[in-house]
Amino acid sequence: MNFTHKHLLDIESLSREDIELILDTAIPFKEMFTRSIKKAPTLRGKTVVNLFYEPSTRTRISFEIAEKRLSADVVNVQTSSSSVVKGESLIDTVKTLEAMKADIVVIRHSCAGVPLFLSKRVSASIINAGDGRHEHPTQALLDLFTIKEKKGKIEGLKVLIVGDILNSRVARSNIFGLLKLGAEVRLAGPSTLVPESFSKKGIKVFHRLEEALEDADVVNILRIQLERQKQKLFPSIREYNHLYGIDEKSLKNAKSDILVMHPGPMNRGIEISDLIADGANSVINEQVTNGIAVRMSVLYLLAANMKSESKEEEN
Amino acid sequence: MGFLIKEATLLDPINSENGSVRDILVENGRIVRIGENIQTKGHEVFDCKGKYVTPGLIDMHCHLREPGREDEEKIQTGTRSAAMGGFTSVAAMPNTTPPVDSVLGVKFVQMLATREGIVNVYPIAAITKKMEGEELTEIGDLTAQGAVAISDDGLCVMNAELMRRALEYSKMFDIPVIQHSEDKNLSADGMMNEGEISLWLGLKGIPSVAEEVIVSRDILLAKYTSGRLHVAHVSTKGSVELIRKAKQEKIKVTCEVTPHHFTLTDSCLKTFDSRYKVNPPLRSEEDREAIIEGLKDGTIDAIATDHAPHTIFEKEQEFDYAPFGMIGFETAVPLVFTELVHKKILSPYVAIKKLLEGYKILNIRNEGLREGARADITVIDPDFVFTYKKEDIISKSCNTPFIDREFRGAPILTMVGGRVVMKERKILL
């Protein structure tokens, strides 16, 4: 089984086999973390640029560690402002990186579609580290990895995602991935953030949290972005917490072994209570560890593809 | 000397002429004779057997970008692009830099059109000063100078009271108020049609109600004031229904649709290709079908391009930052024939009527194909098959998704005031 993609742009265009291959390949990388020397030579001589047009701590560091553990030469470019404000266009910036012979560009951008846009215009491999409200494929992969590791399977599980689904790239990538792997996907949140239009492809939309949590095997809690309230998408943080906050009370009737996940960074006391975040069901810190393994797996599979390409060139 | 158009199949809704085969003799800028087997000497002869000969077509909605954005389009280049598209007349929207909100602005466009243009250019003036949506322009002086309508196109007149006054005041001059119907609070920073496609792409949506709320409000205002409302680029099923109902009630409302809205849907956006980013956005298939119905039953009066040139640099950036709009002069008639006529949605006669209705809506005198009339003539070969190539684009910009598309049906001759400006797909001036 080979990974045939040159880029990782989204989950939507991956097959079930692609996803399973990434998850399986991540297992030995995770095992490597327990060794004293956590390094493999896979990306030696390859240059990876982390191009972040949006502030990010955990995703950028996770990619950087993954790249370094694979022995890549890593360059971080962090632009707080957009390319337009800076005066140089996005395409010029990336063409410059290409001229410097970057092999892989990991891109985070506030605009949806940027990774696809770049993939059609430059020769480097592109990894989407989050594009606007569109997708965040490596986050979904690490979530899937974590579920599979803890529950032993994904098929048939009832997975609930709670929060601002409409504006969430994490949710979109998770939905695509979970559906492809045969999970039952449930979404919960206020109707302005979880519109009924999501209830296609077998997805179930809930506006009452207790109903959504019934029999759920996993609850993935999204960060509620405080600016959404300014956009009048819900009346107050307080009411949001009352209706959709995950705490001891809301989990009272849930399955005792329900897996509690959060992509971070958390707003403690808003979408998740302290007790639950740090409780026995929480795998939030493990998600972070798994993030590195999954990103190593993606980098490894894309680089393996590159090798076969360059061999063809030699022939 | 003059021209003799031989064996033309006449399509002239202005004179209710549908399909007679005639010769047309043009001398000194006018049609001097229409008849059978005209024999002359010394005239340049165009054999138009099997071709449609129509009064010069009008595009009542375009952006020529001059003054201010000459890097995107100029009156010189835009009118050549229009001539390639078979248009002998175009109405230019006032959202230039600065906007055409004064007599001076109208005169400037007219002066450039006379000096550098090769088709008739009719300026549309702004509804409000600087297009700020605050105060009315001097509509009387502007129309006296030759403005054929008022519009803040690109921006919607959000203030209902101001819109009421615009409709009420413009009545005195018998010009339409052309509204870009978009409730700015509802569309916010939306970039494409709000629907299932936008939901999964994560692109902010522009809901169809953003258009319909304004269409609905303006119809009520037109009824209340007896003013003349023209709804620009209708894009939704709901708008078509509202306008249909308003027409039944004899409210003075007309509307237009663009070729891209009757051809394309929001599924084109799946690849984040900004060439499909237009405003109003490409809508759903259901909306597109309603537009087709509206064209068939006459709810939609006119087809207009909304020709909106942008540079490659502007379009080749993040989808969010790319400006709205596509060019349209050169593909309008080809799309009308390929998508509507050859698919038997509209007869050639009705299709041509939609490309002439702008004269009526804008109150521009046009006598059609008649002896003594000004010789503004378009010849269309309904079976001309061609592929639209980037290098063949006449417009200064090439922001169109129709590049490399094959068409059947195209203008092959454009004559303005007895002067041939386009012949056999070549601009002559």
Domain boundaries, chain A: 16-135+291-309, 137-287
- Name which of B195, B196, B201 is nearest A112 (Cβ-Cβ): B201
Instruction: Choose from B189, B194, B200, B269 for mutation: most chain A CBs within 10 A.
Output: B200
pLDDT tens per residue across span A233-260: 999 999 999 999 999 999 999 999 999 9
CATH architecture of A137-287: 3-Layer(aba) Sandwich (3.40)
**Sign of the CA dihedral with A132 first, then A133, A137, and A140 last:** positive
The domains spanning B2-53+370-388+406-427 and B57-361 adopt the same CATH topology: no
The DSSP letter of residue B86 is T
Which of A250, A313, A304, A279 is CA-nearest to residue A103? A304
Between CA A167 and CA A98 the distance in angstroms is: 31
Determine the average pLDDT of the residues in A181-191: 98
The domains spanning A16-135+291-309 and A137-287 adopt the same CATH topology: yes
Contact B272 A84 (CB under 8 A): no
pLDDT bin (cut points 50, 70, 90) of residue A308 is low
> B270 touching A, CB under 8 A?
no
Annotated active-site positions of B, please? 306
pLDDT tens per residue across span B25-41: 999 999 999 999 999 88
Q: Which residues of B touch A222 (CB under 8 A)?
A: none
pLDDT tens, residue order, chain B (429 aa): 799 999 999 999 999 999 999 999 999 999 999 999 999 888 999 999 999 999 999 999 999 999 999 999 999 999 999 999 999 999 999 999 999 999 999 999 999 999 999 999 999 999 999 999 999 999 999 999 999 999 999 999 999 999 999 999 999 999 999 999 999 999 999 999 999 999 999 999 999 999 999 999 999 999 999 999 999 999 999 999 999 999 999 999 999 999 999 999 999 999 999 999 999 999 999 999 999 999 999 999 999 999 999 999 999 999 999 999 999 999 999 999 999 999 999 999 999 999 999 999 999 999 999 999 999 999 999 999 999 999 999 999 999 999 999 999 999 999 999 999 999 999 998
> A112 touching B, CB under 8 A?
yes
Chain A: closest CA distance from residue B199 (Å): 7
> B44 touching A, CB under 8 A?
no
Residue A69 pLDDT exceeds 90: yes
> A134 touching B, CB under 8 A?
yes
Question: Could you tell me which CATH class the domain B57-361 is placed in?
Answer: alpha beta
Residue A289 pLDDT exceeds 80: yes
Q: What is the dihedral of CA B91, B97, B98, B100, to 10 degrees?
A: 0
pLDDT of A313 reads 45
Contact B199 A198 (CB under 8 A): yes
With a CB cutoff of 8 Å and minimum separation 6, the contacts of B35 are: B22, B23
Query: What are the tokens at B258?
Result: 């663009």
| Cβ–Cβ < 8 Å for A85, A93 | no
Residue A277 pLDDT exceeds 60: yes
Longest dimension (CA), chain A: 65
Determine the average pLDDT of the residues in A205-214: 98
Q: Which residues of A touch B315 (CB under 8 A)?
A: none
Residue A315 pLDDT exceeds 70: no
| DSSP result, B155-217 | S----HHHHHHHHHHHGGGT-PEEE----HHHHTT--EE-SHHHHHHTPPEE-HHHHHHHHHH
The DSSP letter of residue A93 is H
CATH architecture of B2-53+370-388+406-427: Roll (2.30)
Contact B318 A113 (CB under 8 A): yes
pLDDT of A84 reads 45
Contact B317 A12 (CB under 8 A): no
Instruction: Choose from B272, B277, B284 for mutation: most chain A CBs within 10 A.
Output: B272
Between CA B10 and CA A116 the distance in angstroms is: 49
Phi-psi group of B129: left, alpha or beta (phi > 0 → left; psi -120 to 50 → alpha; rest → beta): beta
pLDDT bin (cut points 50, 70, 90) of residue A55 is confident
Longest dimension (CA), chain B: 67
- Name which of A112, A169, A200 is nearest B319 (Cβ-Cβ): A112
pLDDT of A314 reads 42
Instruction: Choose from A11, A107, A128, A134 for mutation: most chain B CBs within 10 A.
Output: A134
Q: What is the dihedral of CA B275, B278, B284, B289, to 10 degrees?
A: -100
Chain A: closest CA distance from residue B384 (Å): 33
Query: What are the tokens at A104?
Result: 């892989």
> B196 touching A, CB under 8 A?
yes
Between CA B233 and CA B279 the distance in angstroms is: 9
> B195 touching A, CB under 8 A?
yes
Write the single-letter amino acid at A19.
Answer: I
- High-pLDDT (> 90) share of chain A, %: 80
Residue A225 pLDDT exceeds 50: yes
Alpha helices in A256-283, H assignment, sequence order: 274-277
Contact B317 A134 (CB under 8 A): no
> B317 touching A, CB under 8 A?
yes
- Ranges of each domain in chain B: 2-53+370-388+406-427, 57-361
How far, CA to CA in Å, does B300 sit from each of B63, B89, B295?
Answer: 21, 20, 5
Residue A83 pLDDT exceeds 70: no
How far, CA to CA in Å, does A16 sit from each of A179, A198, B26, B56, B110?
Answer: 9, 21, 69, 58, 62
| Cβ–Cβ < 8 Å for B339, B345 | yes
Average pLDDT, chain A: 92
- Name which of B196, B272, B316 is nearest A112 (Cβ-Cβ): B272
N-terminal to C-terminal alpha carbon distance within chain B: 18
Burial class (CB in 10 A: 0-12, 13-18, 19+), B56: buried
| Cβ–Cβ < 8 Å for A131, A109 | yes
Q: Which residues of A touch B317 (CB under 8 A)?
A: 83-84, 89-91
- Give me the CATH topology for the region A16-135+291-309: Rossmann fold (3.40.50)
Residue A312 pLDDT exceeds 50: no
Alpha helices in chain A, H assignment, sequence order: 16-32, 58-69, 83-86, 90-99, 114-119, 137-151, 169-180, 209-213, 227-230, 237-244, 274-277, 284-314
Contact A113 B316 (CB under 8 A): no
Residue A82 pLDDT exceeds 50: no
Query: Other C-beta atoms within 10 Å of A252: how many?
Result: 9
How far, CA to CA in Å, does B177 sit from each of B103, B222, B272, B325?
Answer: 18, 10, 34, 22
